[in-house]
Amino acid sequence: MLAVLSPGQGSQKPGFLTPWLDLTGAEARLRWWSALAGVDLVRLGTAADADEIKDTARTQPLLVAAALLAGEHLPMHDVALTVGHSVGELGAAALAGVFPAETAITLAGVRGREMAAACALEPTGMVAVLGGNTEEVLAALDSHGLEPANRNGAGQIVAAGSLAALDKLAAEPPAKARVVRLKVAGAFHTPYMAPAEAALGAVAAGITPADPARILLSDLDGAAVSHGREMVQRLVRQVTSPVRWDLCMRTLADLGVTGVIELPPAGTLAGLIKRELKESGVPEIVTLNTPDDLPAARDLIARHGMAPSHGPTMRFRVVVSPSVGTFTPAEGLAEGETLKVGQVIGHVATRQGPVEVTAHDSGPLTEWLAHHNAPVAPGQPLARIGGQH
């Protein structure tokens, strides 16, 4: 199984889009997206310095545009899974078919502007806490009134909150941990961003999403999301909620992902995966930074992706598990029966109680992929729904 990753804020580098403008139509594409985002993506990706592209209002649409520009040059129909870190989720959702690229760019522009405005309301910031015992680090953050804004795995937790509280944490770091100040405008993924969440939600309410065409993981909990409307709601909530990249990586491991492509500007997420999954098995990784990396990315997809189809064939929709637990199919529901959109096909028993699994497409139940009392992980395929195209 192959996964495509879309990076988040902090991964940008001056001039990283320059080589991509040599591709036919790339500059025109970026100029069209610039009109939607309200920033000059061509200049930001080629001529702007590090300080300018650090500006939240500029960085967020720039990163989403970079991921989508590169994704357009990959055979995405053979990719099984997409996931993004923070604002990268907008790119991942678009590549999964939840909404068009233009919608992702527009939402990134709104998200960036509104989060920048929220940062200006009071002095807040973020620090990376590297090393230490996870529970002890979280306890230290709580004692200082700080939020674990990013839980990135690999011994890295990003704390966010008031500058005064961050200073106290730096002066009294948790045992065996070091605190590194991050050059960001404010406390992202915390309640300080509530005005930005409200503004993004008002805009997102006007779009009509589709259900993902492939497995799409959510930063909120590492779970696979089967319904487009739910994903949009999660994208809005994520503005004030912690990024659980650690859980996303756990899901990649649970699903047995063997190949990973990180979209530009690539490297950050690949590094976290290499450190976090070194014991369970690191997948083969391609960091896609320039068009020169496209042949390696396409080769990885050819070897680890889904087989392409040719001519009139069956089109299959896969229903996936929303969480970890034990799956039980709906009583009396047999292969060959016709399903309706929203029909309950089974339940996953979790520690928090049963979670319904519903069909996100209509058509015949072609095949059960998990059976009674089968242990399942988030994103694990449970059933196929077939139909002609």
| CA–CA dist 300, 367 (Å, integer) | 28
In the chain, the amino acid numbered 308 is P
Alpha carbons 381 and 85: distance in angstroms, whole number: 23
Cα within 13 Å of Cα(380), Cβ side = 22
Active-site residue flag, 347 = no
d(CA 116, CA 61): 13
218 annotated active-site: no
β-sheet bridge partners, residue 50? none
Cα-Cα-Cα-Cα dihedral sign, residues 95, 88, 360, 348: positive
Find the length of the chain. 389
Residue from 86, 218, 321, 323 carrying the catalytic annotation: 86
Between CA 11 and CA 152 the distance in angstroms is 14
- Report the C-alpha dihedral over residues 163, 59, 197, 228, rounded to 10 degrees: -140
Residues with Cβ within 8 Å of residue 61, at least 6 apart in sequence: 33, 37, 38, 39, 41, 105, 108, 109, 112
Structure tokens at 26: 């790339």
Q: CA–CA distance from 92 to each of 38, 174, 213, 293, 370 (Å)? A: 21, 34, 12, 19, 26
CA 121 to chain CA centroid, Å, is 27
In which region does residue 326 sit, left (phi positive, over 0), alpha (psi from -120 to 50) or beta (all else)? beta
Distance CA 204, CA 192 (A): 20
User: Apex CA 257: angle with CA 255 and CA 258, to 5°?
Assistant: 150
Q: Rounded CA gap, 356 and 359, in Å?
A: 10
d(CA 299, CA 286): 10
Of 189, 227, 304, 360, catalytic: 189
CA-wise closest residue to 253 among 29, 69, 81: 81
Catalytic residue IDs: 86, 189
